[in-house]
Structures are given as C-alpha cells and as structure tokens.
Amino acid sequence: MLTTFKWNHYFETGLPDVDAQHRHLVGLLNQLGNEVDSSTPEHIDQTLTALADYTVYHFGCEERLMEQYGVAAEHQEVHRHAHQRFVAQVNNWLATRHEAGQLSLSQLVAYLANWLIFHILGDDQSLGRQITAIRRGETPAAAFAADRASEDPRTDILLDSLRRLYGGLLERNERLLHAYDDLKREHADLEHARDELAALNATLEQRVVERTDQLRAANERLREEQDRLIVSERAAAVGQLAAGFAHEINTPVGIAVGTVSQFQETVATIRRLLGAEEVREEELVAQLDLLDEATGMAMGNLRRAAGLVQAFKRSSIDQISEQAKTFRLRNVIEDDLLTLRGPIKQAGADIVVECPADLEIEGIPGLYDQLITNLTLNALQHGLAAGGPNGRIRIAASVDNDRLKLELADNGRGMTPDEAAHVFQPFFTTNRSKGGTGLGLYICHDIATHRLGGSIECETGPGKGTKFRIEVPIGPIVRAADSR
C-alpha cells in the first residue's frame, strides 16, 4: 500500500482539533494516492470531492479559531491568503479533471502533499504556538511578536524559497499547457488548409501552379510550426524534470525542517536543565544524544537534497545549451536517471547502465541528454506503462571504430509492426488520451540522424520489449580506458 504522506509528531500543532483534522486530511490524501496508483477511476472522483469538501471545512475551523482568540491581524491575513490561493489552485486543476492531457492526477497528489507539509510546518504550527501563548495570558500582539522572534530566519528563508519555487513551477506548467494548446490549434488549422489545397489541385488543373505554390507555402509554415512544437516539447520535458525534482526534494527538505524544529525543542530543554540548581548527568547526556541524532538526520537529508539540486542543475542546463564541450557520457546518463527518479520509481523499473565511467565525448551534451531522457520516458510511459514487478530498462554505450553505439532496451509490452513502422513519424502516439504528443521519438530521430549525423533503429515485437539502437560518428575525439 502506497503512503503519500506519513504522519508523525513533527506535524503536531498543539491544537487537538486542528491536529485531528490534519490527520483526517492525510488519510484522505493517502487514500487518493492509492486510488491513483492502482488506477481505480470509479473511486477517484468520490475521494477528490470528499477531500475538497473537508479541506474547506478545515480552513473554516482554523479561521474561526483565529477570530475566537483574536490572533494578530498580520498572521490572520497571511494565513487566510494561503487558504484562498490553495482553494483557487485546486479548483483550477479540478475544472480540467476530465479533459485529456490537462491534469496529471499524480502531480495533483504530489502538489497536495507538499503544500500540506509546508502549510502545517509553517502557518499552522505558528498559529498553534500563538494560541497556546494567548491561553497563557499573553496578548495576541505579544504572542505574534514572540513567535516571530523565536523562528530561525534561515528556516523562514528556506521555506519561502521553496514555496516560491513550487509556485513558479506550477505557473510555468500552466503557461506551457496554454501555449501548447495554442500551437495544436494552429497546427490543426494549417493541416486543414493543406487538405483544402490538395483537393483543389485534384479538381482544378488550371490552378495547379497557383495551388502548388500555396501548398508549398503552407508546408513551410507547417514545418515552422513543427519546429516550434519541438521547442515546446523540449521545454515541457525540462518542466517535467523540474516537477519531478520539486517532488523528490520536498521529502529530504521536509524532514530536515522537522529536525530543525526538534533542535529548538532539545536546546530549550538543555537550557532548562542547565538553569536548574542541580543537573543530573544522565538527563543532560540523553538530551545531547537526541541533539546528535537529529543533527545526523538533518545533515543526511540536506546532503541528499544538495545532490538532487546539482544533478538537476547539470541536466537542465545541458538540455537547453547548444555549446560543445568535452564531457563524460556516463555522467550525463546518471544525471538523467537521477532527475527521472520519480517516474522510474512510479513504474517500479530496474535500470541497468553499461557504460565506461571514463568514456569522454567532444560535442553538445544536451543532444545526448535529450536522447536518453526521451527514450527513457518512452520506455516508462509506453513499454512499462502496465507496471509489474520485473520491469527493466538497459542503457548501454560503447565505442567501435570511431563510432559511438548507444542502446536503450526495455522488457515491456513491445509494439505491433504497424506501430513500429510509424514510431519516428511526428505526432504519432498510442498515448494521446494521456497527453502524449507524438514528438519524443521524432526528436530522437532528428537528433540522431541530422544533428549527430548517425542512425537510429527500433527492434520490437508484441510482448518482446523494445530496443533502440543509435550509432553516431565521433572520430578520434572519444577517449576511453580501452583506447588510451
């Protein structure tokens, strides 16, 4: 059973009713995650409705608590704004629930989980501390000021940066979706115009020359639109990597943030012990052990987050850069697999890489990055889409007579002869109902044959998996252990 959000005491606010509501929300969210993972659409709409309704009820309870205790207006304004923005964002996603390609339920579940983590650790725990102080007799203004003063500014900066990063990614994805829809409409119009020209040429011989010129112009515009769609597809691929990166990094950062909160509690306990007239050594040692354990947990998760950031930075820069340089192909492959860890984990696939660690190439790393990313995503989304415990993808690279040989093979469902015959054609896809564009393998063919001057072949069959073979000339500029 998949657990989207694992509740623990780090998320408690000190307000029993609010904590109970949070746990109920987490339960609904985990239920939705399992339904999405097991592909049970008959239950998804019901759970989505229940989650949305209970969220509105929960927000109302929090806002009534703020009014009841007269919480500082500054906090109320920020807290209410967070509620309103969240409701607007979710409503926007739900409005496109049944439009093919417009909403990824797995992305929605990830967004809900990550937003809830940051909201609880930030606004809700702040509210809990202020209400606790007000109950002790402090004024709302004093409680607000004390809470602000007790917060680590570095934690605030980190949380704010992550909120802005995630918000920016959502806005960017929305813009890409709108732009892609516009391009599809323009492409459909151009296709319609080309069909009309072809019909006129068949029936009106006296206008052959005129219509041929018009058709040539229309085809040129169509090629330009295809080029624009390819650019959009590449940008969307980077956006997909960014969304996966945001989802992956939230777990270690969330744990680190929770651990920092534990730091503060432990330090406060140590200060209390040291301020007492007598201090028992075992109590002090126990608190120091807790502090040491929390430090190790925080450092481990922050190192994991830093590694993800570096891999995403290298991969995203390579995908949009056209600058040639010397690079190690193994590093490009490993960076791509790290940024694709979310889809790989979701598919339950095992990845095998067979590439010399010191194989170096002089060229544009973004082209190889795009090849590996597109072929891996194709294997995950098509070949291994049905899931299963034995899904496997093999990526192999070697050098033979100044030619680089790159293979990517999966043991998935394979393709029919008809599908294989059209696999490199633009806009051909067997996954259009799920948002497939039919451009991923077309881009791979364009890169392998035109940009790199090589070849790409597909070997497949129903139930036999799919293997892509790429060969490109590299000359004497490749250096590997067997040629030095």
- Residues 287/270, Cβ–Cβ less than 8 Å: yes
pLDDT for the residue 102: 41
Indicate the domain borders of the chain. 9-309, 326-483
- 234's tokens: 């590449």
Tens-digit pLDDT string for the chain (484 aa): 456 678 888 889 999 999 999 999 888 888 888 888 776 667 888 888 888 889 999 999 999 999 999 999 999 999 999 888 888 877 777 766 655 444 567 777 887 888 888 888 888 998 999 999 999 999 999 999 998 887 666 566 656 666 666 566 556 655 765 775 677 788 888 888 888 877 766 676 666 677 777 788 877 877 677 666 655 655 555 555 565 556 566 767 777 777 777 778 878 888 887 877 777 888 778 878 877 777 777 777 776 676 666 555 544 544 445 678 889 999 999 988 988 888 888 888 899 999 999 999 888 888 898 899 999 988 988 878 666 668 899 999 999 888 999 999 999 889 899 988 888 887 777 665 554 556 788 888 988 998 899 999 999 999 899 999 999 998 544 344 333 3
DSSP string, 432-477: GGGT--S-HHHHHHHIIIIISS-EEEEEE-TTS-EEEEEEEE-GGG
**In Å, how far from its chain's centre is CA 424?**
26
Could you confirm whether domain 9-309 is CATH 1.20.120.50? yes
- 330's tokens: 């193994």
- Residues 22/9, Cβ–Cβ less than 8 Å: no
Residues 6+ apart with CB under 8 A from 108: 90, 93
CATH of domain 326-483: 3.30.565.10
Partners of 352 in the β-ladder: 394
List alpha helices for 105-207, DSSP H: 105-119, 125-135, 140-150, 153-203
pLDDT for the residue 162: 62
- Residues 85/155, Cβ–Cβ less than 8 Å: no
pLDDT for the residue 477: 42
